[in-house]
Amino acid sequence: MAKEFDLSVKVGALELKNPLIAASGTFGYGSEFADFVDPSSYGAIAVKGLSLNPKEGNPMPRIVETSAGMLNAIGLENVGLRRFIEEKLDYLRTLDTKVIANFFGNTVEDYAAMASCLSEVEGIHALEMNISCPNVKAGGIAFGTDPLLAAEVVGAAKKAANLPLIVKLSPNVTDIKVLARAVEEAGADAISLINTITGMAVNLDRQTPALANVTGGLSGPAIKPVALRMTWEALSAVKIPVIGLGGIVTGEDALEFLCLGACAVQIGTANFIKPLSVLDILSEIEHYLTAKGIGRVTDFIGTFRIP
Ligand SMILES: Cc1cc2nc3c(=O)[nH]c(=O)nc-3n(C[C@H](O)[C@H](O)[C@H](O)COP(=O)(O)O)c2cc1C
């Protein structure tokens, strides 16, 4: 009898039944997608970014379609830590998948408090900290664009955390390798990249910005080449596991990141284009690798070479 195809991967100590993780902010808290696709199809779900207190987000319009992508300026709207634990986690606990709590803050203390609190709750398997947020005490510079601030906030969160800590990097920097090294040295257990790329769109008829916030984050197929380049650079800079994302909509897109050496990938905007994407991507990975005579995903990870 033919051996079953092995999709399982490891992100450090975190074992996933398959390499696909729902990207934060694109799959809600899981339940929102349950009418369309079984959320347990994912190897893990990174939930919508959480803050200590609920956040309303930015005024509308806050989403606009672009060529091969979308711009969003949601402004990290979320139910806050308490309501997440009381109202959202019970459903997530019923799923046959790993739960990654994505979180953010505006001070080092916020991040440490979030990491500590989320580590104590049953049903969360790993933490993902989004460091693209402004540090209110350092004049609003984003934590993720300054290596010293990034190291400080990751160090504080790591000290407070009792779960694997993934640090999600912003692509809006000159040299991603410097940031990757800084968070590795500060104790990150893994890195995920990329978050959205800052962009804007113009409403020509009105001669106004298309987004009320003026600028927003670009995601979707348009950003895949940038995400691949940054994943490759991060992989060359650190020894900790790297999770790749940005513009993945097909199995072959996912395999490109895995081939570079990413230990897993995240699926974001593709969930909006087609909620069943996760199933298609999984079967495309299996078909592609089976045709190559490869029986498990891990054998393909890191096979990239420059001739
Ligand atoms: C509508 C929307 C909301 C998002 N919210 C978050 C968030 O709360 N936290 C976070 O770390 N990333 C957030 N992201 C970024 C995605 O997780 C992902 O990094 C980015 O979209 C690139 O991947 P993609 O091209 O596959 O969508 C959001 C993206 C979108 C499109």
Over residues 88-121, the pLDDT tens digits come to 999 999 999 999 999 999 999 999 999 999 999 9
Q: How many domains does the chain have?
A: 1
Is 114 a domain residue? yes
259 annotated active-site: no
Query: Domain holding 91: CATH number?
Result: 3.20.20.70
Is 172 a domain residue? yes
What is the average pLDDT value for the chain, to the nearest integer?
Answer: 97
Is 4 a domain residue? no
- Cα–Cα distances (Å) from 134 to 101, 189, 232, in that order, read 20, 23, 26
Is 105 a domain residue? yes
Distance 23 CA to ligand 1 centre (A): 6
Instruction: Supply the pLDDT for residue 16.
Output: 98
The half-sphere exposure of 204 on its side-chain side, counting CA atoms within 13 A, is: 0
Is the confidence at residue 197, as pLDDT, over 90?
Answer: yes
Is 306 a domain residue? no
Average pLDDT over every residue of 48-72 = 96
At 54, the amino acid letter reads P
Is 267 a domain residue? yes
Distance 212 CA to ligand 1 centre (A): 18
Domain extent at residue 282:
9-299
Is 305 a domain residue? no
Q: String of b and e for 71-100 (b: at least 16 CB within 10 Å)?
A: bbbbebebbebeebbeebbeebeebebbbb
C-alpha closest to that of 164 among 140, 137, 188, 198: 188
Pocket test for ligand 1, best of 21, 24, 242, 274 (most atoms within 8 A of CB): 24
Q: Give the dihedral sign, CA 247/55/86/143.
A: positive
Instruction: Supply the pLDDT for residue 134.
Output: 81
- Ligand 1 in reach of 192 Cβ (< 6 A): no
Q: Whose CA is nearest to atom 22 of ligand 1?
A: 246
pTM score: 0.98
- Ligand 1 in reach of 195 Cβ (< 6 A): yes
Instruction: Supply the pLDDT for residue 141.
Output: 82
Pocket test for ligand 1, best of 195, 211, 245, 273 (most atoms within 8 A of CB): 195
